[in-house]
Amino acid sequence: MKNKDIPTNTNFFDLVFQVVRLVPKGRVTSYGAIAKYLGTARSSRMVGWAMNKSHHHPIPIPAHRVVNRLGILSGKHHFANPTQMQQLLEQEGIKVKKDQVVHFKKLFWDPEIELKL
DNA sequence: TAGCTGACGAAAA
DNA sequence: TTTTTCGCCAGCT
């Protein structure tokens, strides 16, 4: 365990994936929220990075439920089709306007709050 | 092997 | 208040 105190089976990526999968349908979260929940608030970039790798991940990751802290579909361009992300969100009842989640503040799902103890 | 990039965010200027 | 810079760490070239 040279990599700090984090065991190999508790990779940052896997941790991110698990949190993302916990996001309930019709809700969205942000990269920073996940990063913060994992204790690496300043590693928000890594969260998005993990999403990138999610395509190669064995388990399905609802990456469309993860947006930046402004509620903007930052990663829509990484989907098969840029519109797919919005489509998926709308299917879950989330309204998207101009690549931005409507009422993002209300739909925001914070792991620190929802998963807290 | 070494360095660059990257779906962000927060602090500093 | 707005804009700019730094941090973060792992995967990819």
Among all strands, which nt has the closest C1' to A55 (CA)?
A: B7
Which token pair is A3?
């990599």
The pLDDT of residue A102 is above 60: yes
Return d(Cα A38, Cα A14) in angstroms, integer.
Answer: 11
Which token pair is A24?
């309930």
Mean pLDDT (whole number) for A70-92: 94
Which distant-in-sequence residues (6+ apart) come within 8 Å of A82 by Cβ?
A76
Using the CB atom, is residue A79 less than 7 Å from strand B? Answer: yes
Using the CB atom, is residue A68 less than 7 Å from strand B? Answer: yes
pLDDT 10s digits, A8-50 = 445 788 889 999 999 999 999 999 999 999 888 888 999 999 9
Q: Which residue is nearest to nucleotide C9 (CA to C1')?
A: A46
Which bases of strand B have any atom within 7 Å of the beta carbon of a protein residue?
A: 6-10
